[in-house]
Amino acid sequence: MKKILVVDDEENIRLLYQEELEEEGYAVEVAAHGKEALDKLNTFRPDLITLDIKMPGMDGVETLQKIREVQRDLPVILCSAYGEYKQDLTTWASDAYVIKTSDLTELKDTIKTLLSLH
Amino acid sequence: MRIKTASAQRERDILGKIIRISHSSLEIDARLTEIVGILAKAFSPDFCGLYSFHEDKDSFTLTASSGPDDMKLDSPCRYQWENLLREVSQSRQPSFFAEGDQLDVDLRRRMPNVTGPISLALVPIADDGFFYGVLLLYYAQPKKFGDGEGELLLIVGREISGTFRNAQLFSEAIARGDATRLAEEKDRQANKLSLLYEINNALLSTMKFEEILHIILTAITIGDGMGFNRAMLFLTDERRNYLTGMMGVGPDNAEEARNIWEYLEGRGGNLARNLASLSRNYSPKGTHLDERVRRIEIPLDKGECILTRTVREQKPFSIDSEDSTLTCKGDCELHKEVNCVLEPESPGGIRPYRFATVPLWGRERTIGVIAVDNIYSGRAITGEDIKLLTMFTRQAGLAIENCILYKYLEDAHRELKKAQETLLQREKLAALGEMAANVAHEIRNPLVSIGAFTRRLYQKLDNGLYEKRYADAIIKEVDRLEGILNDVLSFSKASKVVFERFDLNGIIEETLMTMEDELRLQGIELEKSLDDNVPEIPCDYQQIKQVFINLLSNAKDAMGSGGKLTVRSFPLSHDGRDYIGIEIGDTGRGISSEVLHNIFNPFFTTKGEGTGLGLAICHRIVDGHHGLIEVANNPGRGATFTVKLPVQRKGADEEDFGG
């Protein structure tokens, strides 16, 4: 079973993603901030990470840099309500960029595609 | 801009009155009394006295006065006045005494009957080395004399001095026996001066170009003005090196001329006011003459034309067909249009045709020419007439030049205001965009939760349950809200443009493809004419597509069912630059004129649904591309939007690539 780490500072989004992705047949762990995400990288050893960008403390972009330092090939999907980060070069280090909507089809499709490539 | 100050106008009025009286045919004493009366009214002193100096007796007498009798020279304060007058006669300089200023204690002590504070003005009646006396203004209260008042009094002093001098010359002339000629000469002089003064006042009443021209020409033709039959005004166009007809005033035939003269004679009243009101009612649709004058254009280097010669040689010409060494050959445009030569077949045999031209001087150059004639009356044009006309055209030229400068200023001002408004609109949009983006983002996260959890709820509920329908309603509403957020965000994002070369026709085709079904369903006919010669241009594909989507769906919505959608593309030129034009027209309701100016403002909408951002987004995107978006509107019959995008990008906008 593939393992997904969901990183988001909003509890409801964490709950939503966890339930939806578990129903898709993934093992899901959640982290509320960048620090927690980096800790779980070693304990949980996920196959893919969904990463919120706007978070208090260490934001998603910074967390992404840190992840890349230890795991270059781990697929990371940036999930944000903000479309304009797409133009930020630092987000290009991610494998995909998905703008949050209530319809999770795009997110799920992206996860499936990325996991099948790896 | 203020054309004149109230005090300057007041001073001109006072001076004008005094000049008219000092040149009138009244006896000298009566004239002086009148002048003192005007001064007393204008300056409201407690006493105003005009003391004439008698050189032979070395003494002053009070010639004219206004105020209580005990202030006069033979009253108890005689001694003090006389002393002061003598000081002025020696210095020839005006003195102003004000309480607490220069009024010396000694002077006060010697005037026992004056108890309160006082002020005095003493002005020499002198000019060109002549000294005739002193003008005295007395105030029984403190009074400050302004610079303007002091100067005005000095000028008045000089003017009165001229009156004395004229009277002196006059009495000498009587002694020699040529009094009548002198009196007539003086009358004419006075009339001329007051005429010029009146016309000048009329010219000051407006800054409108056409009104100024009309006042000038009317003053030349009006009976109690200069009384020519017709007057025509031409201005030089230096850029094209042409002399261009601007306006003509005068009756089109002898009968009309008689009617106008009779009418004007019946009017009476103030000339300045008549001129001003005539010209305010003036409509550009002038007479036959006016129309013809406006058609005239003469190359400035045309040698034999009297008009251009007047400009080149900067001197007046008078042409008299009966007796002239300078005849007009009549082969110029002026002749063709206004028939300015002899009329050999006119009933009473050959009638003399007289006309004259005078240059219009500006500050540094000749700006045009005025032509006058006496085509109906046949009255000869005298040297005196030309002299007066020349004096007048000096004023007229300056007035026209001022007016042109004023117009330039106004135009510049208008341009600036327009630029400022555009800037304001942009700033407003930018601020609004930023705020909208922030709010939109804050709303998006909770909306994701609401929508997605409701979707989960929906999936878990059995079909047919009421709850399932409720969940469905929530999902649909959340979708709608998210759609609005996307609108707002793409509006606020529009400033960041990613330029690449694209074929606009291709983008239109793609957009139309996605709408085909909807158009068919609504029974809308599509008329498409895309020009194959339209080159690829640098633009942001997503943004331009957004513009077409918004414009096309607006057009579609405006028509409801049925109608015709027109889509055209074509190359065009605007302000010397190459553009591609995209035209999207509908046959819908059009836009009502009350809302037309609002359509590009964010959040403005006339549709029942929608965010009111569609056109604002279009405007913003097109603006970001340095293009133009225009609307041709036909209320009730449809609207056509035209987007114009530049083929070349401006060099200065390179930073957009980095955005």
Q: How confident is the model at residue A3 (pLDDT cuts 50, 70, 90)?
A: very high
- Tell whether B455 is covered by a domain: no
**Residue A99's pLDDT is what?**
86
- Number of domains into which chain B is organized: 3
Average pLDDT over residues B523-534: 89
- Tell whether B485 is covered by a domain: no
Chain A positions in Cβ-Cβ contact with residue B493 (cut-off 8 Å): 83-84
Mutate to test the interface with A, among B434, B438, B445 (most CBs of A within 10 A): B445
> Residue B617: is its pLDDT beyond 90?
no
Which residue range(s) make up the domain with B515? 494-658
Q: How confident is the model at residue B334 (pLDDT cuts 50, 70, 90)?
A: low
- Same domain (yes/no): B208, B138: no
Alpha-carbon gap: A16 to the closest alpha carbon of chain B (Å): 7
The amino acid sitting at B186 is: K
Residue of higher predicted confidence among B303 and A4:
A4
Does B474 contact chain A (CB < 8 Å)?
Answer: no
- Tell whether B59 is covered by a domain: yes
- What are the pLDDT digits (tens) for A69-95? 888 889 999 988 876 666 555 666 788
Q: How confident is the model at residue B249 (pLDDT cuts 50, 70, 90)?
A: confident
> Residue B546: is its pLDDT beyond 80?
yes
- Same domain (yes/no): B645, B507: yes
- Same domain (yes/no): B506, B589: yes
B262: CATH: 3.30.450.40
- The beta-carbon neighbor of A13 closest among B445, B456, B482 is B445
For the question of whether the overall pTM of this predicted structure is more than 0.95, the answer is no
B545: CATH: 3.30.565.10
Q: What is the mean pLDDT of chain B?
A: 78
First to last CA, chain B: 44
> Residue B284: is its pLDDT beyond 60?
no
- Same domain (yes/no): B201, B126: no
Q: State how far the Cα of B367 lies from the Cα of B120, in Å rounded to an integer.
A: 48
Window from A15-24, B243-252, B271-280 with minimum mean pLDDT: B271-280
Q: State how far the Cα of B641 lies from the Cα of B290, in Å rounded to an integer.
A: 41
Instruction: Point out which residues pair with B564 in neighbouring strands.
Output: B525
- Tell whether B431 is covered by a domain: no
> Residue B173: is its pLDDT beyond 90?
no
Alpha-carbon gap: B422 to the closest alpha carbon of chain A (Å): 26
- Same domain (yes/no): B369, B508: no
The answer to whether B454 contacts A102, with C-beta atoms less than 8 Å apart, is yes
B67: left (phi > 0), else alpha (psi -120 to 50), else beta?
Answer: left
Last residue of a domain, one of B388, B404, B420: B404
CB B110 within 8 A of CB B142: no
Collapsing DSSP to helix, strand or coil, B563 comes out as: coil
Which helix (H) or strand (E) covers residue B168, if one does? helix B147-176
> CB pairs below 8 Å between A and B: how many?
52
- Tell whether B452 is covered by a domain: no
The answer to whether A102 contacts B493, with C-beta atoms less than 8 Å apart, is no
- Same domain (yes/no): B10, B156: yes
- Tell whether B558 is covered by a domain: yes
> Residue B269: is its pLDDT beyond 60?
no
Question: In this structure, what token pair is assigned to residue B266?
Answer: 């019946």
> Residue B595: is its pLDDT beyond 80?
no
- What are the pLDDT digits (tens) for B371-397? 888 877 777 788 888 888 888 888 888
Q: How confident is the model at residue B1 (pLDDT cuts 50, 70, 90)?
A: very low
Does B288 contact chain A (CB < 8 Å)?
Answer: no
Tell me which chain A residue has its CA closest to the CA of residue B482.
Answer: A101
Domains of chain A with CATH codes = 3-117 (3.40.50.2300)
Q: How confident is the model at residue B217 (pLDDT cuts 50, 70, 90)?
A: confident
Q: State how far the Cα of B509 lies from the Cα of B512, in Å rounded to an integer.
A: 5
- Same domain (yes/no): B250, B138: no
- Same domain (yes/no): B650, B596: yes
**Residue A111's pLDDT is what?**
95
In this prediction the ipTM stands at 0.83
- Same domain (yes/no): B50, B144: yes
Edge-first strand listing for the sheet containing B59-66: B59-66, B47-54, B130-139, B119-127, B95-98
Tell me which chain B residue has its CA closest to the CA of residue A9.
Answer: B445
Q: State how far the Cα of B584 lies from the Cα of B573, in Å rounded to an integer.
A: 19
Q: State how far the Cα of A23 lies from the Cα of A26, in Å rounded to an integer.
A: 7
**Residue B177's pLDDT is what?**
63
- Same domain (yes/no): B218, B77: no
- Same domain (yes/no): B115, B147: yes
Average pLDDT over residues B125-131: 82
Does A10 contact chain B (CB < 8 Å)?
Answer: yes
Average pLDDT over residues B82-104: 75
- Tell whether B122 is covered by a domain: yes
Residue of higher predicted confidence among B648 and B338:
B648
- Tell whether B474 is covered by a domain: no
> Residue B654: is its pLDDT beyond 60?
no
Chain A positions in Cβ-Cβ contact with residue B449 (cut-off 8 Å): 10, 12-13, 16, 102
Does B475 contact chain A (CB < 8 Å)?
Answer: yes
**Any idea how long chain B is?**
659
Last residue of a domain, one of B384, B404, B424: B404
Tell me which chain B residue has its CA closest to the CA of residue A79.
Answer: B445
Last residue of a domain, one of B404, B435, B453: B404
CB B531 within 8 A of CB B569: yes
Chain B positions in Cβ-Cβ contact with residue A100 (cut-off 8 Å): 444-445, 448
The answer to whether A102 contacts B450, with C-beta atoms less than 8 Å apart, is yes
> Residue B5: is its pLDDT beyond 50?
yes
**Residue B106's pLDDT is what?**
56
Does A13 contact chain B (CB < 8 Å)?
Answer: yes
- Same domain (yes/no): B211, B270: yes
Query: Cα dihedral sign for B265, B269, B275, B281?
Result: negative
> Residue B60: is its pLDDT beyond 70?
yes
Q: State how far the Cα of B165 lies from the Cα of B130, in Å rounded to an integer.
A: 8
Burial (CB < 10 A; 0-12, 13-18, 19+), residue B233, is buried
The answer to whether A102 contacts B659, with C-beta atoms less than 8 Å apart, is no
> Residue B322: is its pLDDT beyond 60?
no
Mutate to test the interface with A, among B442, B443, B449 (most CBs of A within 10 A): B449
Mutate to test the interface with A, among B434, B441, B448 (most CBs of A within 10 A): B448
